[in-house]
Structure 1
Amino acid sequence: MAAPVGRLCHVSLHVPRGQPLARDLQRCFGFRPVALREAGGWRQLALRSGNAVFLVNEGAPGSGGGREGPLYDVDPAHAVPTASNVCFEVADVRSAVRALRELGCPVAVQPQAVADSQGTVTYAVVRSPVGNLSHTLLERGSYRGPFLPGFQECGLPDGQGDWFDHVDHVALACPRGSSGAWLRWYQDFLGFRRFALGPADDHPEQGLEIRAGRAGGLRLAALQAPPGSEAPMLVLGESLPGLPGARDQVETFLAQHGPGLQHVALYTGDILATARRVFEAGGSLVASPTTYYQQAGKVAQILAAGQEVERLAELGILLDRDGGQGEAPDYLLQVFTKPLVPEETFFLEFIQRQGARGFGQGNIQALWEALEEHLAADQDRGEPR
């Protein structure tokens, strides 16, 4: 029996001490520091924008061998900076862990309670089949503090002017042939359900194939949260065979990181304003393919959605239909950032939905080609990644 998850609490990022990821999330992406913990050689800073929370764990050299690890997490001891934990709330941690243990799920941290003057929470950490990715299961109860017990409040609690609203989806990079097993795990263990990305996505495990670029393309599969849950979608991507020597962004991620969490998509109600703020704050966005806005029918599609081609093109924002052909069609807008760490690994996506629930096959292909062009340009310049 699965242990269905509730809403997302936070996504944990692990970086070496001194790397500017926490600073960049504040300066370039508008995240606000809300709580801090420093103990056992670890500095843990929770940053929030709307309901999207990143917990940046900075480990000092040698801290991984200490008795006290990062609170609400485990030390992934990973070779490169990584997003290695997705924390979900559950109704009852102890019963969830019992159910998962019976299914054969490895438990890294047994249920334990943490308390402060604002109340008590109970958490456990389980291992997923996805590389170094683990999941913290957290029972919040009536706790009403700014983040979680064990952290000291810091920064500004006022959320006015947040750049983002919530996490729309989390994307996992899969080695070829692994996505089917991962899909089954999240369905059987955490109660997620398959979400069809289109008419061609009619197989319970294979996903949707999108052919694009020299490297071959992408096999994409999606999972939606259990009934009654507000958790974001999980999107699994694995690359398709391409030309000899060609490498796409999934293969680049796997080469530098191994299987794991590739990017987090943040929802915004005004992607133009958000992307402009990010750009002006020094954040780097991936440019769209030069031919994207010249596709047959693309200009008409953009105008029908009430958008301006020049404004989207200026920031590399992509727009695609997703749904019926009525007078007011569903559509979505998307743009990727460049990697937030020195390696070509973790990055962000911004997404705005106008009725669309999926991801727009045309956008997926264009985003894939855009990132492939970005990688090829870096390789041509000889930039280290």
Structure 2
Amino acid sequence: MDIRSIDHIELFVENAEETATGLRDQYGFAVAGRGGARTGLRGCESVLLRQGDIILLVTSATSPYHRAAEYVGRHGDGVGVIALCVEDARSAFAETVGRGAVPVAPPETFGPGGDQVTFASVTGFGDVEHRFVSRDRSGGPFAPLIEETGLGRSGEGLFTQVDHFAVCVPAGTLGETVHRYEEIFGLRQTFEERIVVGSQAMDSKVVQSASGRLTLTIIEPDVTRDPGQIDSFIEAHDGAGVQHIAFLTEDILTAVARTAERGVRFLTTPPSYYGMLKPRLGPIGVSVEALSELNVLADRDHSGVMLQIFTESRHPRGTFFYELIDRRGARTFGSNNIHALYEAVERQRATNPTGLD
């Protein structure tokens, strides 16, 4: 099975219009379509958003029997579906079910010949499903019952694609989750790391598709140590789930400045971090003063430099948030910044444990 890319992400939320408006006004996504009772969509309302190669489908339930209602009731707003672009959704469904995936929705094809789209879904981790999508042609209709406007489909261009998902899983399940993605979905492990911050610790492994377009950083807490933010996520989210989505940008300084002006709040970093940046990394091709002003983190690996920043969680449970990442050759995930992130999240939890004002 060849996973070509992430076709779209479906967010299950309490209020689709409100969430979509925030993503439009703060992050620069374009509203590209809508679906609901008027278009024949049953049990839910959805808003389609686009920016670069990123497609978000924001869905809220209008019926207690829709899956979004169950998801939001248990977890709150979050990622319910990571949809994968494949050559043949029917074949991908049969292959993964044959390898042990639990079917969610059997293959179904929509649209006229030459412009068809096929969907089929299986379980992923926690309550997140993977929807296989194959299309007769790129740029065709997104999905049945979603009425597309065709206006502003590319958004503002702040972000180009999804870089990775950070996934939190309960303690003791990291190995089996990685094994599941290797055996069922054909991903391969590319990295692993143990992070110790004070009296807390966590273990992580990265799995990636052969195309490099689907990357999951899977993290579990070390319960032999003091409880920390990964433990808190698992408890507040009620099980495994996506902690954050990382959006790739070609100009992180502009992306941070623009989104901050529109109300996005980012985690802050102590000035001492920037005092050590030049001795630690050497020349990185960007002003340390500019990074410090915007609280952007920097790291280097054997392939280049990476710049990144994390938003504060605005989730009522203090769980889900976003990352902005600018890769200037680097292929890893900012290992040396994990401590800074961890400490910043701990400061947010101490001052504002719910994530809200």
TM-score (norm 2): 0.90
| Kept in 2: contact 1:105–1:127 (CA 8 A) | yes
Aligned to 2:262: 281
Residue deviations 1:201-259 (CA, integer Å, cap 9, x gap): xxxxxx31011144x13212101212xx2523111011234764xx4222221111121
Aligned to 1:221: 205
Q: Which amino acid aligns with 1:85?
A: V
| Kept in 2: contact 1:34–1:147 (CA 8 A) | no
TM-score (norm 1): 0.84
Task: Give secondary structure in 2 for the equivalent of 1:356.
Answer: coil
**1:318 matches 2:292:** no
Which of 235, 244, 247 matches 2:217? Answer: 235
Residue deviations 1:312-337 (CA, integer Å, cap 9, x gap): 1122100011127xxxxx11011001
Pairing 1:261-300 to 2, within 5 Å after superposition: 261-295=242-276, 298-300=277-279
| Kept in 2: contact 1:120–1:149 (CA 8 A) | no
| Kept in 1: contact 2:201–2:222 (CA 8 A) | yes
Gaps of 5+ in 1: 197-206, 325-329
Q: Which amino acid aligns with 1:152?
A: E
Shift of 1:51: 0.6
**1:187 matches 2:182:** yes
**1:97 matches 2:79:** no
Aligned to 2:61: 59
Aligned to 1:327: none
| Kept in 1: contact 2:11–2:57 (CA 8 A) | yes
Which of 208, 211, 217 matches 2:193? Answer: 208
Shift of 1:376: 1.8
Which of 254, 271, 275 matches 2:234? Answer: 254
Q: Which deviates more, 302-311 or 47-56? A: 302-311
**1:178 matches 2:157:** no
Task: Give secondary structure in 2 for the equivalent of 1:358.
Answer: coil
Aligned to 1:351: 325
Change in CA separation of 1:18 and 1:221 when aligned onto 2, cut-off 3 Å: closer
Change in CA separation of 1:32 and 1:115 when aligned onto 2, cut-off 3 Å: same
Change in CA separation of 1:18 and 1:195 when aligned onto 2, cut-off 3 Å: closer
Alpha-carbon distance in 1 for matches of 2:64, 2:133: 23
**Aligned pairs, how many?**
351
Q: Which amino acid aligns with 2:9?
A: V
Residue deviations 1:281-300 (CA, integer Å, cap 9, x gap): 111111124432233xx134
Aligned to 2:312: 338
**Identity percentage over the alignment?**
30
| Kept in 1: contact 2:314–2:355 (CA 8 A) | no
Gaps of 5+ in 2: none
Q: CA RMSD in A?
A: 2.4
